[in-house]
Structure 1
Amino acid sequence: MIELSDYPLAISQAAQRIAELDYELSAMRQLINAFEGRADMMVAASSQLRNEVQRRARRFELLQFNQEYQKALDLLTQLNTEKANAIAYLEYLRNQFSVAKLEARLAIAQQLAGLEARELVGF
C-alpha cells in the first residue's frame, strides 16, 4: 500500500507514462503513413495497373509483404494496449488516492469524536 503522501508522485509518473506512449504512438503512426505513402507512390507510378481495383490490390500486396510495415503495425497494436493499461493504472491510482484520503479523514473524525466524548465524561 502506498503512503498517502506518495500518491501525487505516483499519479504524476503514471500520467507521464501515458504522455510518453502518446508520443511513441504518434511516431509509429507517422512511420506507418510513410510506408503507405511509398506504396501509394509505387502504385501511382505503375502504368500496368488500369483500374482502381488493381491499384488497391497492388497497394495491399506491397504493404502485406513489407516486413517493416508489418512490424510497425504490430508495435502500434502493442503500444495501444500498453496505453490502455497505463490509463487503467492511472485511474486505479487516482481511485486509491481518493480512498486513502477518505480513510484519513475518517480516522481524524473518529479521533475528534473520541476527544469530544472524553471531554464530556470529564477526562
Structure 2
Amino acid sequence: MKLSMSQYPSAIAQASQAVNEIDHQIMEVRQHIARLEGNADMVVAFETALKNDNQRRARRFEVLQINPEYQRAYDALNRLSTEKANAMARLEHLRNEFSVAKLEAQMQIAQQLVGLESRELVGL
C-alpha cells in the first residue's frame, strides 16, 4: 500500500515506536533471564558437594535447564528478536519509500518547470 507524502512521517514514527516497544520488551526479558541465572548461581553457591568450577558450571546449567520458566524466557527472547528484525525491516522500508516519493515529487516539479520554460521560449 503506497502512502501519500503527508502520511509517511506518521507511519515512520509509528514504526519507530513499534521498534522501541519491542526493544523495551527485550530488555525486560533479559532482566528476567538475569534474575533466573542469579537464582541458579545462588543454588549452586550453597551446594558444598561441588568441588571445582567445572562442577559448578555443570550444576548451574542443569538448574537452568530444568527450570521451564528459563526456557520460556529464552523462547520469548528469540521471538522478540525476530519481531524486532521484522519491525526494523518495516521501518527501513517506509523510510526508503518516503525517499523515493520525495525524489518522484522533485522529478515531477522539475519536469513541470522545464515544461514552463519550454513554453515561454516558444511563446505560449
Same fold (TM over 0.5): yes
Aligned match of 2:86: 85
How is 1:55-66 mapped onto 2 (pairs within 5 angstroms)?
Answer: 55-66=56-67
How is 1:7-22 mapped onto 2 (pairs within 5 angstroms)?
Answer: 7-22=8-23
Q: Does 1:51 align with 2:52?
A: yes
- For residues 29-52 of structure 1, give each alpha carbon's deviation from its aligned partner in whole angstroms, at most 9, with x where no partner exists: 000000000000000011111111
State how far apart, in whole Å, the 1-side matches of 2:31 and 2:53 are.
Answer: 25
If the length of structure 1 is used for normalisation, what is the TM-score? 0.96
State how far apart, in whole Å, the 2-side matches of 1:64 and 1:88 are.
Answer: 33
Q: Does 1:120 align with 2:113?
A: no
Query: Pairwise CA RMSD of aligned residues?
Result: 0.8
If the length of structure 2 is used for normalisation, what is the TM-score? 0.95
Q: Which runs of 5+ in 1 are unaligned?
A: none
Percent identity, please. 59
Q: How many pairs are equivalent?
A: 123
State how far apart, in whole Å, the 1-side matches of 2:52 and 2:123 are.
Answer: 96
Shift of residue 54, structure 1, vs aligned partner = 1.2
State how far apart, in whole Å, the 2-side matches of 1:65 and 1:96 are.
Answer: 48
State how far apart, in whole Å, the 2-side matches of 1:32 and 1:109 are.
Answer: 56
Deviating beyond 4 angstroms after TM superposition, the runs of 4 or more aligned structure 1 residues are none
Q: Does 1:108 align with 2:102?
A: no
State how far apart, in whole Å, the 2-side matches of 1:61 and 1:74 are.
Answer: 18
State how far apart, in whole Å, the 2-side matches of 1:65 and 1:119 are.
Answer: 82
State how far apart, in whole Å, the 2-side matches of 1:27 and 1:79 are.
Answer: 11
SS in 1 for 2:11: helix
Q: Which runs of 5+ in 2 are unaligned?
A: none
State how far apart, in whole Å, the 2-side matches of 1:89 and 1:70 are.
Answer: 29
Q: Counterpart of 1:95 in structure 2: which amino acid?
A: N
